[in-house]
Chain A
Amino acid sequence: MKLVHISDIHLTAPGERMGGLNPHKRFAQALDDVRSEHSDAKRIIITGDLTHWGEPAAYATLVDALNDLPCPVRLLIGNHDDRAAFLAAFPDHPKDSAGFINHAETVDGTRLIYLDTTAPCTHAGHFCAARRDWLENELKDCTSARLFMHHNAMPLGLPAEDKIALVPEDRALLAKLLTTYRDRIEYIHFGHVHAPVHGTWCGIPFASVRSTGNQSFPDLSEQELLQGAPMAPSYAVILAQDTGTTIHEIPFTWDGPVFSTGTNWDDWAKPMAAE
């Protein structure tokens, strides 16, 4: 099963820039690349920060952009989103009984679980008892699951960035829950950090993906300020198979040279000067 993971598209009202770039253009480039290169994907999953300021006009551009795609799109919200404005733009979008944008589906035998880790007026992640109960209800009945969320639930060794990870009180209880079901959770996928970060947590592998906009710079000592740079974006292609998971970062804005080389031994032989 091939899944496309896009994150932190930060759409604005039309004509407004975000961090010096046009987020609509970047998102359109990413979707065009998916259309041309990954039309065999089963899902396109966008893990939050759909908009930059949570404005209805920005959500309207998202509604318009999600057309002519090769597979269903699944949406999560992030700290830059506004739940009410999101639901106004996507009135039929699934949500749980408490009103959180938690939803799930089974694709190729794997439960894909999309989580809502947001709370109003904070950039940090939250996952309260009601949401944990909802998640446990999903996990207890499945044999194989893959979690998608906006926030990093775990600290990443980046002191400033970690200030807006999932808050510690919710983290500990989520860790307890995930540890209980770790044998059936294949992977945790998230966004939020605008960088590819990989590791394990609660015995479960995790991976984040870059933003389609600006990137963060991994500063392991900075205590207060998030570090960013206009480095190249990517989205991820996740190959989820019975034998394991492979994740590729797709540099969809690259337009420089691409070298082709064969794989035979002689294909890499050192060129000899003409006799």
Chain B
Amino acid sequence: MKFIHLTDTHVVGDGTLYGQDPAARLRAAVASINAGHGDADFVVLTGDITHWGDAAAYARFSREIKALNMPVHLLVGNHDDCCLWCGFPRDTP
């Protein structure tokens, strides 16, 4: 079994964080995983999906992560918001 461990993507709704755009970094990671590790069984993302846990950030994260060619298992971290999280994305267990 081969799987990918991705973590602390810290996506923000718009703009940059500490001088870089976390969503652009996530997009690059997704592209690298698809191109170089398409044989992996799944991706596990161990939390801090977003930086401020806001709906706009989850929406942006969702757009980027959908490009993955394999299942993704999401965990929440201290930067995430479980209330916003519970209904989103709706197809995540």
Contact surface of A with B, Cβ cutoff 8 Å: 220, 257, 259, 268, 270
Least distance between A134 CB and chain B CB atoms (Å): 37
Given A257-B19, A259-B18, the answer on whether A268 and B79 have CB atoms closer than 8 Å is yes
Contacts of A270 in B (CB 8 A): 51-52, 54
CA gap between A220 and B35 in the complex, in Å = 12
Closest Cβ neighbor of B52 among chain A residues = A270
Contact surface of B with A, Cβ cutoff 8 Å: 18-19, 36-37, 51-52, 54, 79
Q: Which of A257, A259, A268, A270 has the most CB of B within 10 A?
A: A270
CA gap between A270 and B57 in the complex, in Å = 12
CA gap between A268 and B79 in the complex, in Å = 8
Contacts of A257 in B (CB 8 A): 19
Interface of B, secondary structure class, is: loop
CA gap between A132 and B51 in the complex, in Å = 51
Interface pairs (10), CB distance under 8 Å: A220-B36, A220-B37, A257-B19, A259-B18, A268-B51, A268-B52, A268-B79, A270-B51, A270-B52, A270-B54
Contacts of B79 in A (CB 8 A): 268
Closest Cβ neighbor of A157 among chain B residues = B2
Closest Cβ neighbor of A271 among chain B residues = B52
CA gap between A9 and B53 in the complex, in Å = 44
CA gap between A259 and B51 in the complex, in Å = 15
Contacts of B54 in A (CB 8 A): 270
Contacts of B19 in A (CB 8 A): 257
CA gap between A257 and B79 in the complex, in Å = 22
Least distance between A24 CB and chain B CB atoms (Å): 32
CA gap between A270 and B37 in the complex, in Å = 35
Least distance between A154 CB and chain B CB atoms (Å): 17
Contacts of B51 in A (CB 8 A): 268, 270
CA gap between A268 and B81 in the complex, in Å = 13
CA gap between A268 and B36 in the complex, in Å = 34
Closest Cβ neighbor of A265 among chain B residues = B78
Contacts of B37 in A (CB 8 A): 220
Q: A268-B52, A270-B52 are in contact. List 8 more A-B contacts (CB 8 A).
A: A220-B36, A220-B37, A257-B19, A259-B18, A268-B51, A268-B79, A270-B51, A270-B54
CA gap between A259 and B17 in the complex, in Å = 11
CA gap between A268 and B17 in the complex, in Å = 12
Closest Cβ neighbor of A268 among chain B residues = B79
Least distance between A268 CB and chain B CB atoms (Å): 7
Closest Cβ neighbor of A219 among chain B residues = B36
Least distance between B4 CB and chain A CB atoms (Å): 12
Closest Cβ neighbor of A256 among chain B residues = B19
Closest Cβ neighbor of B18 among chain A residues = A259
Q: Which 8 A-B pairs have the closest CB atoms?
A: A270-B52, A259-B18, A268-B79, A270-B54, A257-B19, A220-B37, A220-B36, A268-B51
Contacts of B52 in A (CB 8 A): 268, 270
CA gap between A239 and B42 in the complex, in Å = 32
Least distance between A158 CB and chain B CB atoms (Å): 13
Closest Cβ neighbor of B79 among chain A residues = A268
CA gap between A257 and B51 in the complex, in Å = 20
